[in-house]
Amino acid sequence: MLKRIVYGVCGAAIVGLCVFSIYAWYPAIDPVIPAQTDYSPEIIEQGRVLAAAGYCSTCHTPSGGTPYAGNYEMHTDFGTIYSSNITPDVETGIGNWSEAAFSRAMRIGVSRDGHHLLPAFPYEHFNKMTDADINAIYAYIMTSVPAVNQVKKDNDIPFPLNIRWFQAGWKLLFADTQPFEVNSEKSAEWNRGAYLAEGVAHCGACHTPRNALGGEKYDQMYQGAAIDGWIAPSLTSTSTSPLPWRSQDFYEYLSTGNSLYHGSAAGPMAPVMHDGLSALPDSDLRDISNYFADLDRTTKMDESQSNKILQAAIDAQHQQPDQRIDEGARLYATACQACHYSSDQLVKGRLLITIGSATHLDKPTNLINVILDGVSSDQGISGVVMPGFRDALSDQDISAIAAYLRQTAGENIWPKLQQQVGEIRNQPRFEQ
Ligand code: HEC
Ligand code: HEC
Ligand code: HEC
């Protein structure tokens, strides 16, 4: 009897494995040499804009490296992953890929030779794009990106996660492979914003929390997540920002890199805005802004309520605590206040830090990152710099300033703050 059960279980497992391997197996798609290049200038231009909006070059170019030639290093919870060479080089890039092979990679994360790609490549978002948009990106890369011969470094992922075949199981469990769905209750502009955000611009790849195996939690879409030593804040009604994100705030932030009422696009958000969104036409940025404003609580907070919150924050900075007693207040006055002052009229780039998003997040990560390393000229507003205080202020100093700001902002001081400053100081710095 027992033997029979054992045979039965083994048999079922073998059948299961066979079925899974059939499911997991993809054929190679024949190489084409030379690949198609007879595209109209309009399609190539459309591809250029979309490739920028998807920041392909940000992830496919290490700092100081050749554009699109790959080996950009991504540190994930599962190990180090290197991006592929996607220049049209025949030997080491995608020079012999057909449109069909490219489209399959962008939609289901399978390489031309049939091997599964890791979701560090956000194919589950690119999947939302139309065929025409995916083909336009192909047209742009094949005709306009110079071919570079450079072999992809091997990913450094521990066994058994490095078995690419297992990715088929991951996809089955976690990947959203549905095409973009038009919401017929919303306007065409709203749908355009959603299409861009969910697809090519893949906002959710950073702003949606992930489960233990790295799958996006679609029921918590855009509710905020940790990414590359930063926090990508919630973009929904769960945002901790004291002032609402109205459509014009999103637009201002996404088009200039800074919102008067919330702060700067620094860290991993900087290339999204500078390399990516800035390539899109103005109407697309407006549509993305309207889409996100619709997810925020804008409609639920009236103007007079937000004006009251703002006025209270402006007033609070005039009620300075005794600087002889409060070390944080004293350090703030000497290190920060010269630039971050505010009269009744807020000034762009001179953030009233007590209303800024970084002060109100559940974790001090972004505020401490900014104090340590500042905001460089290619982050936040172009050409505008905040100096970093990595060498000038100790962990104790930074923790005192952060505590002072939290208290002034009416929030509890983050637990184990000084220890967290030390940890954040020692984490790898985000490199663009
Ligand atoms: C967040 C980083 C990231 C972004 C953004 C990104 N990629 Fe990638 N891409 C990767 C990584 C990492 C790999 C390699 C994955 C692996 O080793 O399985 C990859 C692989 C690929 C491949 C497969 C190449 C091969 O030889 O199998 C293609 C094609 C590709 N990317 C195209 C694009 C295009 C086009 C864009 C922009 C629309 C883009 N990628 C944006 C990270 C990214
Ligand atoms: C590569 C990861 C990444 C991607 C992709 C990304 N973001 Fe972000 N985003 C971040 C990080 C990190 C921050 C925090 C930046 C800071 O505080 O300086 C941020 C901040 C923001 C903020 C400010 C939120 C606040 O409360 O201060 C907005 C708005 C935003 N992102 C919108 C978007 C939109 C829209 C997209 C897609 C078009 C997008 N992000 C794509 C990482 C990302
Ligand atoms: C020399 C002027 C200057 C000093 C001094 C300065 N800042 Fe800034 N800070 C700026 C500017 C300018 C920006 C906006 C940069 C941009 O968007 O390009 C900024 C942005 C910020 C932001 C928003 C970052 C984000 O990602 O949302 C915070 C928070 C901040 N500063 C905190 C501080 C603190 C705390 C101190 C003192 C330790 C300080 N700053 C000192 C000029 C300064």
72/197 same-domain check? no
Decide: 161 in ligand 1 pocket, CB within 6 A.
no
Find the mean pLDDT for residues 290-295. Answer: 93
329/406 same-domain check? yes
304, two tokens? 């007079």
The set of protein residues with a Cβ atom below 6 angstroms from ligand 3 is 257-258, 263-264, 266, 335-336, 338-340, 349, 351, 353, 356-358, 366-367, 370-371, 375, 380-381, 384, 386-387, 389, 401
CB atoms within 10 A of CB 113: 11
pLDDT tens for each residue of 276-285: 999 999 999 9
Q: How far apart are CA 147 and CA 3, in angstroms?
A: 60
CB atoms within 10 A of CB 309: 16
Question: What pLDDT is attached to residue 87?
Answer: 98
165/211 same-domain check? no
pLDDT tens for each residue of 19-48: 777 778 899 999 998 888 899 999 999 999
Nearest CA to ligand 2 atom 37: 203
Distance 233 CA to ligand 2 centre (A): 7
Q: How far apart are CA 323 and CA 330, in angstroms?
A: 5
Q: Which of 144, 174, 204 corresponds to the end of one domain?
A: 174
Q: Is residue 346 part of a domain?
A: yes
Q: Which of 127, 144, 174 corresponds to the end of one domain?
A: 174
Q: Apex CA 390: angle with CA 385 and CA 395, to 5°?
A: 135
Residue 53: domain span: 28-174
pLDDT tens for each residue of 365-408: 999 999 999 999 999 999 999 999 999 999 999 999 999 999 99
The number of residues making up the chain comes to: 432
Q: How far apart are CA 264 and CA 270, in angstroms?
A: 9
157/268 same-domain check? no
Q: Any known ligand binding at 340?
A: yes
392/308 same-domain check? yes
**Which atom of ligand 2 is the closest one to the Cα of 263?**
27
251/114 same-domain check? no
156/204 same-domain check? no
Q: Any known ligand binding at 206?
A: yes
Is it the case that residue 10 has pLDDT exceeding 90?
no
Helix (H) or strand (E) holding 141: helix 131-144
The more confident residue out of 128 and 301 is 128
Provide the number of structural domains found in the chain.
2
Nearest CA to ligand 3 atom 26: 264
Q: Any known ligand binding at 360?
A: no
* pLDDT band of 318, cuts 50, 70, 90: confident
Q: Which of 119, 141, 174 corresponds to the end of one domain?
A: 174
Question: What pLDDT is attached to residue 426?
Answer: 96
Q: Is residue 232 part of a domain?
A: yes
pLDDT tens for each residue of 230-274: 999 999 999 999 999 999 999 999 999 999 999 999 999 999 999
Distance 395 CA to ligand 1 centre (A): 38
**Which atom of ligand 3 is the closest one to the Cα of 366?**
26
Q: Apex CA 166: angle with CA 162 and CA 168, to 5°?
A: 135
Q: Is residue 344 part of a domain?
A: yes
DSSP characters over 247-271: HHHHHHHHHHSEETTTEE--TTHHH
144/269 same-domain check? no
Find the mean pLDDT for residues 136-161. Answer: 95
239/117 same-domain check? no
248, two tokens? 């014009």
271/303 same-domain check? yes
